[in-house]
Structure 1
Amino acid sequence: MSAEISEKFDLKTLFHQYRRGSHKDYDLFLNILSDLQTKSEDLRVYLRTIKDNVTELSREFEDLVAVLLKLDWASRDVCVVREYQSLLLGLVCAHTYYLRASLRMLVKYFSPPIVKSDTEEVSDEIRQRQEAVFLNVHMVLKAILDSVPMSSTILMPLLHDLFPYIGKPVFVQECFVRNLLQITSYLPNGRQKILELITDRMLKLDDIEQDLTRDLDNRDGSTYDKKCSDKPMTHREANILDVCMQLTLTYISNVCYSKGECDWEATKKLYREMLLVFDRLILPTHASCHVQFILFYLCSTKTPICEGFIDYLWKKVQNPNTESVFRQAAVGYIGSLLARAMFVPVSTVTACLDLMCQWVHLYLDSTSEDVVNADVNHHGPFYCVCQAVFYVFVFRSKEIFETKKGHKWAESLNFQRIVTSRLNPLRICLPVIVKTFSSITRMHQLAFCDTIIERNKRCILPVTSNGLGSSSVVTTLDSYFPFDPYLLNRSGRFIIPLYREYQGCIEEDQELSNDEDDFLPDESSSTVEPQSVSLGKTPTDFLHYGISPGFKHVQDIT
């Protein structure tokens, strides 16, 4: 059919012939619609004709609707795009049973048919062409969401089902995530679910590969440079995660900041939504390595956000009805945030240490005197809080002692009672934390841990659990500090400026006096001067324990 013929074309007559059993002209019309060689002007006329008769498109003509939904319309001329958008909107408004198929077709456009491998750069021309396609799709999707109330309910499961597989090229993953975030601009009520969907996918990427760090550009043993870089990650899954994190952090920045100033109302709303995502997905995920930095960055936007996040975590720790594993994870987040975040002032650190130490002392007061051995199984949250206190104090001690009343305040924490208690936290906490904490507290005469540490090394007693007579040896706390060094390149530009690396010294092991009651070293004993090192410059940054199943140390700390 030419454009001249199609101007006189009567679709109602065609439908009438089809109902009477004459399918020839109807089938010819379907072939013309699906023919890629059909001229844009002819296609525009056909689409307008169908739009004028959209009420006739009952289930009887599903094959015609199927052809329409398979048309590659979004990259055609503007006249065709406008006619198609108008037709599609009229179709789903008149016949809601076509809504799911129509939305599915639109969502599929968010995953461009790129066949290039991850090693090939996508040209600017392709990117611009795809951006034009995405714009056309978003225009009609927004119109449908505004016009059909039930469309958002149907859209969310489709976004989940059509999320590209991890094996798809990086550009495809990038386009889909970018378009999901774009949807939130005209579907604000669906933002939380969209953020939850993106976060869930990133957590899977964060956990997919067991040997990621082997490809972190330091395979020759050289130190890892934490400077921001636009260089793609060598490891494929890490590269996808890096791109997704960059898009997410850019989105958060655009929402929270307007003309360089924080938009408080928008930031609060986004924080509440991300907190729900954190509670449902991030907190229960064991040893993720990078995704939790979304909350880290969000906390940097405004002090009340950071304080609110810490308060939320501390309430979980204090709640005895919360499962022990979640209480311990929450303590890890508190300790890691206080230690690593440059934007957390020392006043907040001291206030949090006050709270945690007060809780520790109350816990010791309520502990039965019959307890004579350290037991991680029964006192896990207690040991995690103690370790968080030691960890934060090690990181922030220099700032604390630079304050006017820093030393007097530190004395009020009564570290000596904690370390000498029957529960013996020095025995359970990680040795490198214990050793460094011992060095700092000894230097400032806040606590004397060396004799206890030596006794713990020599004395590993079995403990009985469950009253069944089965014994187990006390083990080191299974620790997790989530905000340990950020290893992704492109998204790192949001994190590195806010991130504190430990600068200090680790004291070498030295022989202590055999007299366990003597806390002072013998004058004749030889001591080794603390070895001054720049800690935190490599993936084996001091106290680097946030190891995802997909991320492991390049070398062990000794």
Structure 2
Amino acid sequence: MEEEDIDTEETEHNDSKVTAHIRGVLSRFAQGDATDYNELVGKLNQSGYLSTDDMPSLLTSLKAVFGMDMWKYGPDVMEVLVYLIIRLATSSGEFVNSSLDMLVNNFMPHESFMEELNEPRGVEKKEQVLDRVHSALIKITNLVPLAPMRLCPILLRRMPDIFVTEPVVAVYVENMLRLESGPIGEFCGSTMILAVVDRLVELDLEVGWDDILPNESNKGIFDTELEEMYDDFDDGFVLVNQANIFAEKLDSLMVVTCRHIRSCAENGRLSKVFNTLFHCFHSSVLNTQRSKFAQFFIFYACSLDPEECGVSFAFMLADIFNCNTEISLTRMSSVAYLASYLARANFLEGHMIAWTLRRLADWCVDYCRLVDAEEKTLDPEAHKLFYSGCQAILYVLCFRMREMLDDPYLESVIFGFPLQLIFCHPLDPLKVCLPSIVEEFLQQAKAASLFTSSEAFGGAAKLDMYFPFDPFLLKKSDRFINPIFLYWSNVGQSKSREGDQSAKFCMFEMVSKGLSRFASLCPGISFGST
């Protein structure tokens, strides 16, 4: 055996002996014998005055204390250990980071313990450890003013990456969000939520559509009943490769995230948290191409407060699309999200949907007036914003037209849309938008005598655009999304209304609240045409 290996073994053996000694000291203190404990604390508190000969012993003791795993001990030892950590953090500034790091490291048990987390014994142990960890973090941040600033970098550094096993990632994220909802959230809550959303997006990008719905890429939007195809899989996703392992992790994190958002709503915090969720969506999700499921955290949040959060989200997307200072990619993403949101969110009132569609239609009309009436060349790239807006209108009407036509007031609104002016313009949007969407729209519009066209549609230059709130296919977290999601098979089933006047009043009240909420979120953005 080489000398280096011998030295390593001796160091580990010595560390083990010191750790055992520290554990013994804590155990005796828990049983009422404070002699050794007081001696240990005295030595640690006098670190600045120890001789050079005593420093190695001190450093070894500190290393043992800060490296202790609370999950291995009973409640009595845990209690004393936490008390010691708090004393160290508050007695000397040099121990603050190490104390915080030790507590954060105890967010997660050793992987060998993970299988027990769902069993009664594991649940009890988890509560014993994490209650003490979070209590200690709160006490330290209350006593050390700079502790929250030091805690955030530690939390981000310790956060498991996407390659760590699913239970470990889920437990850590659960603890991050627990911090967000507690007193420490005032200092680092937005950082925690942003880190969680970034991790959702990272996992989402590792999942390919080929891993979810193989051999379905050539089917049209309305030919592919994704919600019915869900039954073809025994367990939602079939874990056949590494990508679907990422999907399983994403599924678990979506459960944790949705639970946290629901808890915020139950505790009257959603209005405050939604500000952060909105900014996380804008910065991390909006321009992420072909995101599949991560974006549903904002969809779910909107459903818990449709009159304010739900309306303001639609306003935000519409205004980004209308904002000339935004880059084209962002504007196209926003209108794709808006169309998908209006089409799929079954918690939105028809009046809100019609009002937002009218904004899109007005923008398209203004665009048509700016374009030379003699221009005949179809150029999806040159006019991609216009075609994106047109396709958004078509898509929403495919899902919502029947519902709106069942309401006398909405029927009058929808017949007032300038559809003829937009879709019969020389730019010929019906020849550029996806054929399956155009065909479905024309069938419904013709049956309702809303719009007819004898022109050919769906040319070779198809608009490359997807709708990000398509059916949600993650098994465990589906229970949060399924009840609030409009599937194609349910299109045309009208909501019950008490009366036209009450519905209109509800719409105006929602718009008023939504404008107020949106103004607080985006004070620098104008609302454009209404």
> Per the shorter chain, which TM-score range?
0.7 to 0.9
Distance 1:167 1:36, change over 3 A: farther
Superposed CA offset, 1:155-184 (max 9, x none): 222222212232322221221111111112
Letter in 1 for 2:154: L
2:341 matches 1:337: yes
CA RMSD, Structure 1 to Structure 2 (Å): 3.1
Q: CA 1:36/1:223 → structure 2, altered by over 3 Å: closer, same or farther? A: farther
Question: Is the Cα contact below 8 Å between 1:354 and 1:413 reproduced in 2?
Answer: yes
More helix by share: 2
Matches within 5 A, 1:202-351: 202-210=200-208, 211-213=210-212, 223-225=228-230, 234=239, 235-258=244-267, 263=268, 266-302=269-305, 303-351=307-355
Query: Cα offset for 1:339?
Result: 0.6
Checking the alignment, whether the CA contact within 8 Å between 1:228 and 1:496 is kept in structure 2 is no
User: Structure 1 pair 121/48, CA: closer, same or farther in 2 (3 Å)?
Assistant: closer
- Alpha-carbon shift at residue 43 of structure 1 (Å): 6.2
1:143-542 aligned within 5 A: 143-184=139-180, 185-189=182-186, 190-210=188-208, 211-213=210-212, 223-225=228-230, 234=239, 235-258=244-267, 263=268, 266-302=269-305, 303-369=307-373, 371-453=375-457, 457=459, 475-503=461-489
Matched to 2:446, the amino acid is R
Counterpart in 2 of 1:107? 104
Structure whose CA Rg is larger: 1
Partners of 1:40 and 1:407 in 2: CA distance: 75
Unaligned runs of 5+ in 1: 1-26, 461-474, 506-558
Q: Offset at 1:53?
A: 4.9
Question: SS at 1:373's partner residue?
Answer: coil
* 1:412-459 residue CA offsets vs partner (Å, 9 max, x unmatched): 212122111122111221111011112122223332234232xx64xx
Residue by residue, what CA displacement relative to the aligned partner does 1:299-357 show, whole Å, maximum 9, x if unpaired? Answer: 11221211111111111111111011000111011111111111111111111111111
Q: Secondary structure at the match of 2:304?
A: coil
Q: Does 1:55 align with 2:58?
A: no
Of the structure 1 ranges 83-92 and 382-391, higher mean CA displacement relative to structure 2 is found in 83-92
Q: Match of 1:285, as an amino acid?
A: T
1:145/1:151 contact within 8 Å kept: yes
1:69-88 correspondence runs (5 A): 69-73=66-70, 75-88=72-85
Alpha-carbon distance between aligned partners in 2 of 1:83 and 1:484, rounded to the nearest angstrom? 52
Tell whether 2:130 aligns with 1:134: yes
Contact 1:426 1:434 in 2 (8 A): yes
* In structure 2, C-alpha distance between the alignment counterparts of 1:256 and 1:275, rounded to whole Å: 15
Of 375-384 and 227-236, the range deviating more from structure 2:
227-236
Distance 1:54 1:104, change over 3 A: same
- SS for the counterpart of 2:455 is helix
Cα offset for 1:117?
A: 9.0
- Structure-2 separation of matches of 1:501 and 1:222: 7
Q: 2:345 touches 2:485 (CA, 8 Å); kept in 1?
A: yes
Tell me, yes or no, if the aligned pair for 1:40 and 1:77 is still in contact at 8 Å: no
The answer to whether the 8 Å contact 1:93/1:147 transfers is yes
Q: What is the identity, as a one-letter code, of the residue corresponding to 1:57? A: S
Residues 143 and 200 (structure 1), Cα distance of their counterparts in 2 relative to 1, 3 Å cut: same
Task: Answer yes or no: is the 8 Å Cα contact 2:78–2:129 preserved in 1.
Answer: no
Q: Deviations over 1:51-84 (max 9, x none)?
A: 3454312395433322221223454344433332
Deviation at 1:230, TM superposition (A): 9.4
Displacement of 1:148 after TM fit? 1.5
Q: Following TM superposition, by how much is the alpha carbon of 1:298 offset from its aligned partner in structure 2, in angstroms?
A: 1.0
Distance of aligned partners of 1:317 and 1:294 in 2 relative to their CA distance in 1, 3 Å threshold:
same
Most deviating of 83-92 and 206-215: 206-215
| Conserved? CA contact 2:117–2:123, under 8 Å | no
- 1:200 deviates by 0.8
- 1:213-250 deviation digits (Å, cap 9, x = unpaired): 1599xxxx995347999988743222211111111111
**Matching residue's letter, 1:186:** P
Cα distance change on mapping 1:358 and 1:90 into 2, 3 Å: same
Cα 1:51–1:357 shift into 2, 3 Å = same
Q: CA deviation at 1:497?
A: 0.6
Q: CA deviation at 1:50?
A: 2.7
> C-alpha deviations, 1:237-283, integer Å up to 9, x for none?
2221111111111111111025xxxx3xx221011111111111111
CA distance 1:215–1:183, change in 2 (3 Å)? farther
Deviates more, 1:383-392 or 1:176-185: 176-185
Aligned length: 450
Relative to structure 1, the CA distance from residue 409 to residue 183 in structure 2 (aligned partners, 3 Å threshold; closer, same or farther) is closer
Asked if the contact 1:338/1:392 (under 8 Å) is kept, the reply is yes
CA drift of 1:479 comes to 0.7
Supply the AA of the counterpart residue of 2:162: I
Name the SS for the 1:295 alignment partner. Answer: helix
The one-letter code sitting in structure 1 at the alignment partner of 2:164 is: K
Distance 1:443 1:64, change over 3 A: same
Distance 1:352 1:334 in 2: 9
Query: Letter of the aligned partner of 1:89 in structure 2?
Result: I
- CA distance in 1 between counterparts of 2:227 and 2:378 reads 40
- TM-score, L = length of structure 1: 0.74
- The DSSP-based 3-state class of the residue aligned with 2:253 is helix
1: CA distance, partners of 2:336 / 2:412? 27
| Percent sequence identity over aligned pairs | 24
Question: 2:495 corresponds to which residue?
Answer: none
Q: Quick one: which amino acid aligns to residue 434 of structure 2? A: L
Structure 2 residue matching 1:439: 3-state secondary structure = helix
**Partner SS for 1:172:** helix
- Aligned-partner residue type, residue 267 of structure 1: L
